[in-house]
Structure 1
Amino acid sequence: MRRPLTLLAVAVSTVLLGSAVPVAAAPDGDSRETDAGRLAWTSCGDATTPALQCAMLEVPLDYAHPDGRKIKLKLNRLPATAPKAKQQGPILLNPGGPGDSGLWMPAYITGQIPADVASTYDWIGFDPRGTNGSEPHVVCDAHYFDGERPDYQLGHGTEKAWLGKAAKYAADCAADWSWILPHMTTVDSARDMDRIRAALGAKKINFYGGSWGTSLGSTYGQLFPSRVRRMVLDSIVGPTISWYDHNILQDKEHQRRFRAFAQWTAKADSVYHLGTDADAVIKKYYAVEDALRTTPVSAAPAPGKIGPAEFEDTFYGGGYNFLRWPRMATVLSGYLTRHDTRPLTIAYNRYAAPGADDGAFPNYNATQCTESAWPRDWEFWKKDQAKVNAVAPFYTYNNMWYNAACMFWPYQGGPERLKITGKGLPPVLLFQATEDAATPYAGGVAMHKALPGSKLVVQNGGSFHEVLFHGNACLDDTFVAYLRDGTLPSGKGFIAKTCAPEADPAPTYVEPTATAKASGSAVSPTDPEAVHGRF
């Protein structure tokens, strides 16, 4: 049995284990094509998409020592079917996370765009290093997210429990995975992408990335600008902001989206009976959370119980995807007006119940904690986060504890992420919604300024996190035109094109069904209500 480290021991281990390898932009030709590895494509056995092929690719663990230890990446592809003369090469795909699987993306995206465009590309999905089907699949604590977890909110006696939980998670990761954790940054994943390119035999790649995938894509473009043909970044992480400061932006934007949900619900009082103004609805939300502190609800068929932490996790995804709002309002209405907890257990199992292990969380931490500086002092966090919570109480402490392992992470990063300049890149197409809570609008503006040749498409009033493929023709047609022949929006101002938002969902009481499926991935990545990671 592994002995957990104390808080002090974890802090000491930071010094003993050392810091992450410094990040530096590499020469554009530093990947040796002869070392690319080979891809043996075989059928994925996918009955829905029989043409889908799978392969494993061996890549260096440490690119500073490319002849050393190797790890493997899981890849899939939908090959181009257009005549050879019309084919446009591979397009690599990443949905964000950090650490989310991209293997669902080739089949999904090709089904969302015209066949005459889809057929011209080789669509490449992959699992980032250390995640999902890649080898190894890093697991630090398979039960980290099991309910009932300590209350997120300070003042309920759970501060020490969360500090111990976060410190132990960092220690457990270091105890089992010290050999790979320093090599799971965005730069490492970008270099993996170049190995994929070389193994495909392509001189250049195309790329679509959403959320953290925009950081991955821009990093690849910075390291290997001459190897980019076309690039699309959707819902953008600012290129210079620290991950700690980015979380604070998220907290404030999630507060705005929570109020937008409350306003929408208040307009539908005849359906939900939660009050006719936003403040009344918000009070009802906190009334349910308070009740769950006293009497948690069974999470069945998921294990454990739904307390205040699980309740918050069921709701924050509404800031990513407003198609969840009818079910969220039903949870509150069912609990308060019908004394029915079934909508809550169904929503929890659909949106927030843990999977078989800690999923992409090790990659999330290893990426963020090691590539920009994080405060290491709890007293600083406590005071600083209290200021944020004063204006954004809906998400601040939830987000703080989700990221608290970075306080104790054994590989210190920073002080800054890789600088993005856009030098040598072709025009990059950027998509950003003004009301995006997960990757706030400022990130899209900052990336557009960092990439002088880029074109920025703004969905004014839009709130989807990852705006493409929701049926908005203004957005989707712009993406298709760029993929078809490189056509870019013609606007000459800072914003090249503006698109309108989608209509709010119709208010409907979502009647409980007989059964609910328990899984951390109960919502398929292709489900209209899906969200991808925290970035």
Structure 2
Amino acid sequence: MLAAPSTSASASASTSASVPARFAGQTLSWTACPSQASLQCAEMTVPRDWHHPADGHTLSVAVSRTAGDAGKPVLMMAAGGPGGQGLLRPAGMASSDPALARRFEIVSFNQRGEPGSSPLDCAPQSAVNDQFTHDLRDDSPAAERQVIAGAREFAQGCAHADGGLVRYINSDQTAHDMDLFRNLLKVRTVSYYGVSYATWLGAYYATEFPHSVNAVVLDSNLAVDDTMQAFMLRQPAAFQRRFDEDFVPWAAAHDSTYHLGATPAAVRAGYEKERAALAAHPLAVPGASVAVGPNQLDMGTSGAIYRAAAFPVLAQAMAALGHWPTASADEQATVAQVFGSDPNTSFNAEFFAVACNDTPWTKDLGYWKRLQSTESARHPLVGARALLYGATCASLPSAGSGPRLTVTGEGFPPVLMLNSTGDPATPYAGALRTHRALRGSRLVTVAGGGDHGQFENGNACVDGYVDRYLLSGTLPDGDVSCPGSPAPE
């Protein structure tokens, strides 16, 4: 059994001894978060470059905490992505798990480069929209030139934005920001919860500051012993499996409700027919930020299948596209919700900065052209993005510049890991690799499930293991399984 989280207010010197006093000695000025009354927010000043903290350049990082909970042990959260914003997430965790809220001061932050912190601005919204308006499955020479030109323009915008900020947007720099935050909260250690990319970030943090963490929960895991490029290349097969083996049979079984096809083959054929129609004539949808074309169909679908609870809404939107001339206002609103959002410029900037910088990427555009063509055919739902993603990282001068850490778990507290066997975004094979790398970790396998993000996802078995670990330090004796949540009826 791990000792329960300490309430000591004596902060470790691990950060304060290595940075100028202007950072380690600052006081956070907490005020009510403008959009979330249950939280307090503050701005933390950090060095732009933690490896040269006295060079005079600084950044701001927005931080938050549950209001009125100062003096409790700290549970630090981080957002996935990379590119997700974590600032307001403590409110959701406190609301959904009152036991954790009673025990902990729950804190989080928006990473450097994100809105609210010192933001990275790579391109205007119109330019980002242009990258996703043509059909990414099109591998004609003209289409490839268009993708590469857009990727280069975006990467060059990142490289020149905000005084070269992009070079300092990586997981290593953020891990140092996190430990300064811990230090300013005046606690010796924090417990940590991270989902998706935040598992990678949490592993970085615990590797660099093993004595600063008391407990670590990693939910839906990246393979910490691999590269970001390898992780991104494993996703298309996982998303295709989730679509073909989970959503499509579910839709066929509910044909009497959604009329998408009575067999899996009919559902898939109907999807491709609708996609071809949108490629020929993108649809102007009331309330949508962009015209709904083939990429919007793919992106909306891949986003909706992260959790089975969203299958009905996705099916409703697909059904509405199938009878668009007679779609009701409510059905049109559902289509706008699922398929009609702008690509998020701030998310894309942070995503590519971290994903490209953290580990090396292949620079050969010929490789990415070939991969885009084969992946479009093998894993059409998201495989067609290969050239766009690869050309962006190949064009970013700082790609691969972040310090590469070897994550072994040495010095860590015991780690509790969660992963479903059918996760589309963080494939289970990656969790197994991380489990092997983090010696002494315990893995909770959600068997037969395909959801991404297991804690607070309505699975009492998973939630019980997490709460017992965080509240009392109790880990399972070995690896365990929980049943997956069934898809909605």
Instruction: Give the alignment's TM-score, normalised by structure 1.
Output: 0.82
Q: CA deviation at 1:344?
A: 7.4
- Label 1:74 to 1:149 Cα distance change in 2 as closer, same or farther (>3 A): same
Amino acid of the structure 2 residue aligned with 1:497? V
Asked whether the 8 Å contact 1:58–1:72 carries over to 2, the reply is yes
- Label 1:38 to 1:311 Cα distance change in 2 as closer, same or farther (>3 A): same
Cα deviation, 1:489-527, whole Å, max 9, x if unaligned, reads 123xxxx21000111112xxxxxxxxxxxxxxxxxxxxx
Question: Are 2:309 and 1:309 aligned?
Answer: no
Question: Are 2:297 and 1:329 aligned?
Answer: no
Question: Are 2:138 and 1:154 aligned?
Answer: yes
Q: CA deviation at 1:389?
A: 3.4
Relative to structure 2, which stretch is displaced further, 304-313 or 363-372? 304-313
User: What is the distance in 2 between the residues matched to 1:176 and 1:32?
Assistant: 26
Relative to structure 2, which stretch is displaced further, 497-506 or 374-383? 374-383
**Aligned equivalent of 1:435, options 419, 422, 425:** 422
Cα deviation, 1:118-145, whole Å, max 9, x if unaligned, reads 2221111210001021124534333234
Partner of 2:4: none
User: What is the distance in 1 between the residues matched to 2:104 and 2:67?
Assistant: 7
Question: Are 2:94 and 1:110 aligned?
Answer: yes
Partner of 1:319: 305
Cα deviation, 1:379-401, whole Å, max 9, x if unaligned, reads 11122333333321221013542
Asked whether the 8 Å contact 2:110–2:116 carries over to 1, the reply is yes
Q: CA deviation at 1:412?
A: 3.0
Amino acid of the structure 1 residue aligned with 2:189? K
Partner of 1:424, secondary structure, is coil
User: What is the distance in 2 between the residues matched to 1:235 and 1:196?
Assistant: 25
**Aligned equivalent of 2:373, options 382, 386, 400:** 386
User: What is the distance in 2 between the residues matched to 1:350 and 1:291?
Assistant: 20
Give 1:142-221 correspondences, 5 Å limit.
142-146=125-129, 149-155=133-139, 157-221=142-206
Instruction: Give the alignment's TM-score, normalised by structure 2.
Output: 0.90
Partner of 1:501: 484
Partner of 1:132, secondary structure, is coil
Partner of 2:47: 60
**Aligned equivalent of 2:78, options 75, 94, 118:** 94
Instruction: Report the number of matched residues.
Output: 469
Relative to structure 2, which stretch is displaced further, 121-130 or 393-402? 393-402
Relative to structure 2, which stretch is displaced further, 321-330 or 396-405? 396-405
User: What is the distance in 2 between the residues matched to 1:427 and 1:354?
Assistant: 40
Give 1:17-166 correspondences, 5 Å limit.
31-32=18-19, 34=21, 35-36=23-24, 37-46=26-35, 50-67=37-54, 68-79=56-67, 81=69, 87=72, 89-115=73-99, 117-146=100-129, 149-155=133-139, 157-166=142-151
User: What is the distance in 2 between the residues matched to 1:388 and 1:355?
Assistant: 24
State, as a whole percentage, how many aligned pairs show the same letter: 30
User: What is the distance in 1 between the residues matched to 2:456 and 2:87?
Assistant: 17
Unaligned runs of 5+ in 2: 1-13
- Label 1:463 to 1:29 Cα distance change in 2 as closer, same or farther (>3 A): farther
Relative to structure 2, which stretch is displaced further, 287-296 or 217-226? 287-296
Asked whether the 8 Å contact 2:248–2:267 carries over to 1, the reply is yes
Asked whether the 8 Å contact 2:139–2:373 carries over to 1, the reply is no
Partner of 1:226, secondary structure, is helix
User: What is the distance in 2 between the residues matched to 1:405 and 1:52?
Assistant: 37
User: What is the distance in 1 between the residues matched to 2:389 and 2:282?
Assistant: 21
- Label 1:125 to 1:353 Cα distance change in 2 as closer, same or farther (>3 A): farther
Relative to structure 2, which stretch is displaced further, 150-159 or 409-418? 409-418
Asked whether the 8 Å contact 2:46–2:58 carries over to 1, the reply is yes
- Label 1:481 to 1:395 Cα distance change in 2 as closer, same or farther (>3 A): same
Return the structure number with greater helix share. 2
Partner of 2:216, secondary structure, is strand
Partner of 1:246: 231
Partner of 1:52, secondary structure, is strand
User: What is the distance in 2 between the residues matched to 1:97 and 1:335?
Assistant: 29
